[in-house]
Amino acid sequence: MEKIILKGRPVVGGVTEGEALVSQDALVWSHGVYPPTGRINDVRVKLNGACVKDAILVYPYGKGSTSTSTWMLETFRCGNGPKAILNVETEGLIAIGSILADTLYGIKCPIVDRLEQNPLDVITSGDMVRVDGDAGIVEITKK
Amino acid sequence: MGIKLTQAEEDMLRGKNGEACKVAMGVLLRLGNALGAQEFVRVSSVQCMAHYGSLHDAGLEWLEKLGDMGGRCCVPATQDPASIPFEDWEEMGFDKVYADKQQRLAAAAKKLGEVLTWSCTPYAVGQVPRFGQNIAWAESSAVSYANSVIGARTNRTPAGMAVCVALTGRVPKERMYLDENRAAAVKVNIRDAGELTELDYNTIGIMLGKFAGTRIVAFDGIPESVSNEGLKYLGAAAASSGGVALYHVLGVTPEAFREDPFRGQKPAEEVTWTRRDIQTAQDALTTQNPGEVELAVVGCPHYSIGELIKLADLARGRKIKKGKEFWVYTPFETRNLAERMGLADVFRESGVRILASNCLVISPFPRKYKTLMTDSAKFASYLPSEHHVELVYGSMADCVNTVMN
């Protein structure tokens, strides 16, 4: 099986592994992800209806309201957050959601961005991805 | 590498200022390091978030925890509007369980020592930063207004993080706090548009957000007579359709008043918008199949006292049609002013309801509505998807004429 290793910027630490869920569209967490189920609930997004729970969630960047962070935090509180997040560019809005989940609930969600290749081109939903948020290294096993 | 701390900041991190301040500083340090900041900046004003519609139970637990640890704001810290109208929720039929959560958030904000304005327009209720001053505001339209119209400096401070800034008075120095990140990159010319109304500024804001994304735009062709409300709407709409935290207007806004916002560089892209473009964007803000308007909603961002005067002038001597409603959102303080000025009497007589320090974008509806009308492009871009309603977009006068006799 083809393996690809990409280096990026470590944003939030932690190491995890899981199945990729890739959104080519920017994701809006506020009103765009339903915390009690973890399902994407946004007709403007192609991935509408998909579940972020336990996924390695890959999307370009965040969009919309500054309350993104507390919508994320609530999704983590409900146990429906992703295992890790890979962005083209991570804004503070996204990073703080993960940092607060760790601070309040001890939930780790490593984040890596600015990978040497665009993760939206390299990673497909269903690929197995290992994320090392401490070193900023992403290992992709194509499905 | 990483943030270099001052002595005072190290003390906070060691818990010298209490447990809550220590936890808050720890969160900010992790975030600052993640974002590659080199140092913190001190801020003079914070706008937090404490509305249940976005904070949920997790945000409530966060604020209560910081309060239980003895946290106190060390700079004036307001918060965005609440998810219920505090005074009328029961009479209007809001859910009690939901209202209780919002009341708990209010109690938590009070315990933390927040300034309880509950408004998306803190600049209209006594929080006015000066040009160049570092602040940390949260609500996107307030951020845009502070950066663009006042020339103060703030990022779009995330909910949950802003309270950490309020407890420490510190925020990672990155993006909008750095002078080099405030230059304009692209130019928008407004040409052949005739007189620009407040509705037009709303519409131009939507166009701006879609065009710019997060790039910084400088406008040419917006007259110096533009009202503060016009710029308020422009920024609010742009932040709802894109990630705009700062825009410049040549000859109008402070960083483009005398100085060149492009700082000698050529714009990376330049476009021209005419009346026809504005009209097309305006038409697109009314949803596909609006029915008969049942409810007109105005005051997003919160109506200023000037707008309440205009609305009272339009509503005086008229009455809401049977089966229709008119709601206006404004801060407590502005409502009090309207009460003192007799404007509130006009509203009561004509059937206009003031919802003080509340906001429909972040509130549930007390009952079902099918078709709304608004003069706010931000309402128009959020309400159809968030409340599953049809929406008609028109001016304040159009709203009055539609639901009043």
Q: Which two tokens stand for residue B103?
A: 């009341």
pLDDT, chain A, mean: 95
What does each of the 405 residues of chain B score in pLDDT, given as a tens digit?
A: 699 999 999 999 999 999 999 999 999 999 999 999 999 999 999 999 999 999 999 999 999 999 999 999 999 999 999 999 999 999 999 999 999 999 999 999 999 999 999 999 999 999 999 999 999 999 999 999 999 999 999 999 999 999 999 999 999 999 999 999 999 999 999 999 999 999 999 999 999 999 997 799 999 999 999 999 999 999 999 998 888 999 999 999 999 999 999 999 999 999 999 999 999 999 999 999 999 999 999 999 999 999 999 999 999 999 999 999 999 999 999 999 999 999 999 999 999 999 999 999 999 988 889 999 999 999 999 899 888 899 999 999 999 999 999
- H/E stretch holding B187 reads strand B186-190
B156 close to B238: Cβ distance less than 8 angstroms: no
pLDDT at A28 over 90: no
Per-residue exposure over B100-109, b if at least 16 CB sit within 10 Å of its own CB, e if not: ebbbebbebb
- List the one residue out of A104, A38, A118 whose CA is nearest residue B57: A104
Quick one: chain B helix, strand, coil %, rounded to 5? Answer: 45, 15, 40
- Could you tell me the sign of the dihedral formed by the alpha carbons of A103, A96, B35, B181, in that order? negative
3-state secondary structure of A88: coil
Which residues does chain A have within 8 Å of residue B174's beta carbon, measured at their own beta carbons?
A: 92
The residue type found at B91 is E
- List the one residue out of B336, B356, B358, B338 whose CA is nearest residue B347: B338
Tokens 């209010």 sit on residue:
B106
pLDDT given at position B386: 83
Strand arrangement, sheet containing A56-59? A3-7, A137-141, A128-132, A15-22, A56-59, A84-87, A111-113, A9-12
Would B7-179 and B183-284 be classified into the same CATH topology?
Answer: no
B78 close to B46: Cβ distance less than 8 angstroms: yes
| Residue A70 contacts B where some CB pair is shorter than 8 Å | yes
Q: Which two tokens stand for residue B241?
A: 């359709």
pLDDT at A64 over 80: no
Q: Which two tokens stand for residue B165?
A: 């800034």
3-state secondary structure of B251: coil
Q: CB-based contacts of B97: which residues, under 8 Å, 6+ apart?
A: none
Backbone angles phi, psi at A64, to 5 degrees: 90, -150
Of the pLDDT bands very low, low, confident and very high (cuts 50, 70, 90), residue A57 is very high
Distance separating the N- and C-terminal Cα atoms of chain B? 67
Which residues does chain B have within 8 Å of residue A71's beta carbon, measured at their own beta carbons?
A: 54, 56
B356 close to B372: Cβ distance less than 8 angstroms: no
pLDDT given at position B242: 83
pLDDT given at position A66: 84
CB contact under 8 A, B160 and A70: yes
Which residues does chain B have within 8 Å of residue A104's beta carbon, measured at their own beta carbons?
A: 58, 61-62, 65
Q: CB-based contacts of B313: which residues, under 8 Å, 6+ apart?
A: none
CB contact under 8 A, A92 and B35: yes
DSSP letter at B123?
G
- Could you tell me the sign of the dihedral formed by the alpha carbons of B120, B124, B126, B127, in that order? positive
Across the A:B interface, residue pairs with CB atoms under 8 Å apart total 104
pLDDT given at position B367: 85
Tell me the ipTM for this assembly: 0.95
pLDDT given at position B318: 98
pLDDT given at position A91: 86
Per-residue exposure over B57-76, b if at least 16 CB sit within 10 Å of its own CB, e if not: ebbbbbbbbbbeeebbbbbb
Q: Is the domain defined by B183-284 classed in CATH 2.30.29?
A: no
Q: Tell me, yes or no, if A30 is annotated catalytic.
A: no
Distance CA B46, CA B274 (A): 38
| Residue B117 contacts A where some CB pair is shorter than 8 Å | no
Tokens 């742009």 sit on residue:
B238
Which residues does chain B have within 8 Å of residue A93's beta carbon, measured at their own beta carbons?
A: 156, 158
For the segment(s) B7-179, the CATH number from 3.30.565.10, 3.40.50.10740, 3.30.499.10, 3.90.1150.10 is 3.30.499.10
Beta bridge mates, A27: A62
Annotated domain spans of chain B: 7-179, 183-284, 295-403
**Torsion of Cα atoms, B276 then B280 then B283 then B285, to 10°:** -130
Give me the domains of chain A, ranges plus CATH numbers.
3-141 (3.50.30.10)
- List the one residue out of A138, A17, A53, A142 whose CA is nearest residue A88: A138
| Candidates A96, A102, A109, partner chain B, best to mutate (most B CBs within 10 A) | A96
Distance CA A103, CA A93 (A): 16
- Could you tell me the sign of the dihedral formed by the alpha carbons of B388, B389, B390, B394, in that order? negative
**What superfamily does domain B295-403 belong to in CATH?**
Aconitase, domain 3 (3.30.499.10)
Inter-CA distances, B44 with A92, B171, B269, Å? 20, 11, 35
Of B56, B59, B140, the CB nearest to A66: B140
Distance separating the N- and C-terminal Cα atoms of chain A? 8
- Could you tell me the sign of the dihedral formed by the alpha carbons of B363, B405, B309, B345, in that order? negative
pLDDT given at position B366: 83
pLDDT given at position B122: 98
- H/E stretch holding A15 reads strand A15-22
Distance CA B158, CA B146 (A): 16
Backbone angles phi, psi at B166, to 5 degrees: -65, -35
Distance CA A18, CA A11 (A): 18
A59 close to A90: Cβ distance less than 8 angstroms: no
CA distance, residue B314 to nearest chain A CA (Å): 33
Pairing outcome for strands A3-7 and A137-141 = antiparallel
Q: Which two tokens stand for residue B113?
A: 């020592």
